[in-house]
Amino acid sequence: MPNGCVSEAIPATSAEVFRLIHDYSRRLEWDTLLRDARLCEDWTVAQLHATTICTGRWYLGGLTLKTEYVSFDPPNVAAVKMLNRPPFFDAFAATIRHRDLNDGSSLIEYKYNFKARPICLRWMLHPIMSTSFRWETRKRLRALRRFFSDLQVAETPNVSNATEPSDARKSPVGREFES
């Protein structure tokens, strides 16, 4: 069964990262792979045995995976397994591990494995899907890192405003101009 692992340092604690990743009301704020992400009707928060529906962007085939949390230990690890059988997938599972670093940031490690279908095309599908998974996972984790970096920048007070002329105004697009 093909598998892979992608890691990324995130400028936030593992608790903050874990909370955001598993908050389906905010998932599309950072996730570059998905166009829809939600908990199934019986669940209001991500937790052990909760089920989710995640639909990929159109350019990635728009596939929908229904998954179940088979492990959920905040802020350390969460794992899901696929319940449905969308085109080209016989099986899929993923684990996300989080580890705090000394500088207030954390390391996220995303491990996945899958099995393609139909069986007669696995020889061709496995290398293509492996390359695509690695590329998309790297892209998603970098987007997650940027999300937290942008959040830190937004929370940093802007001291340059104190030196601007008092008659400076904001234009409708946010650029400053003087009257």
- ∠ CA 72-10-126 to the nearest 5 degrees? 65
What CA–CA distance (Å, rounded) separates 77 from 72?
A: 6
- pLDDT-above-70 percentage for the chain: 87
Domains of the chain with bracketed CATH: 3-155 (3.30.530.20)
Q: In what order do the strands lie in the sheet with 3-10?
A: 3-10, 106-116, 89-100, 77-82, 64-73, 51-56, 34-39
Rounded to 5 degrees, what are φ and ψ at 159? -80, -15
| Residue 170 scores a pLDDT above 50 | no
Helix and strand numbers, DSSP H then E, in the chain: 2, 9
* pLDDT score, position 159: 53
Per the CB < 8 A criterion, the answer to whether 81 and 68 are in contact is yes
Q: Which segment of 37-41, 152-156, 162-166 scores lowest on mean pLDDT?
A: 162-166
Digit-coded pLDDT (tens) for 14-32? 999 999 999 999 999 999 9
Digit-coded pLDDT (tens) for 50-83? 999 999 999 888 999 999 999 999 999 999 999 9
Q: What is the mean pLDDT of the chain?
A: 89
CA-based nearest residue to 76, from 101, 54, 96, 92: 96
Residue 50's CB is within 10 A of a number of other CB atoms, namely 20
What CA–CA distance (Å, rounded) separates 116 from 9?
A: 30
The CA–CA distances, whole Å, from 140 to 78, 90, 126, 155 equal 17, 23, 21, 23
Digit-coded pLDDT (tens) for 80-119? 999 999 999 999 999 999 999 999 999 999 999 999 999 9
* pLDDT score, position 175: 37
